[in-house]
Amino acid sequence: MNVGLEHYLTVSFLLFALGLLGVIMRRNLLVIYMSLELMLNAANLALVSFSRFNNKLDGQVLVFFIITVAAAEVAVGLALIVALYRKRQSAHVEDLTSMKL
């Protein structure tokens, strides 16, 4: 079997869907955050495979930007979740209820 662009894209869509599912279904903030990273990496995979099959380098360059930004986002995000955990002794979304609807 010859692996083509569509295979990579299918994997990328699947990763994205899995990540989205994780964000919706999971109740632990850290797991939700991991699922979000999965979604970002799905986009990276799509970019790299488009880049490879279309012979254009823009996508590869953009991936570097995305990786850098995601690292910054993780740094801030984990710090926030840890700060919340210290205050609340819990990292579950059900406990985020101090503001009324």
Q: Is 84 in the site for other proteins (CB under 8 A)?
A: yes
Give the type of residue at 84: L
In angstroms, rounded to a whole number, what is the distance separating the alpha carbons of residues 87 and 82?
Answer: 9
The β-bridge partners of 101 are none
CA-closest candidate to residue 42, choices 63, 13, 82, 66: 13
Q: Is 3 in the site for other proteins (CB under 8 A)?
A: no
Q: Is 96 in the site for other proteins (CB under 8 A)?
A: yes
* CA torsion, ordered 23, 81, 62, 35, to nearest 10 deg: -20
Q: Is 61 in the site for other proteins (CB under 8 A)?
A: yes
Near other proteins in 64-83, by CB under 8 A: 65-66, 69, 72-73, 76-77, 80-81, 83
- Give the footprint of other proteins on this chain (CB under 8 A): 9, 12, 16, 19, 23, 29, 32-33, 36, 39-40, 42-44, 46-47, 50, 54, 56, 58-59, 61-62, 65-66, 69, 72-73, 76-77, 80-81, 83-84, 87-88, 96, 98-99, 101
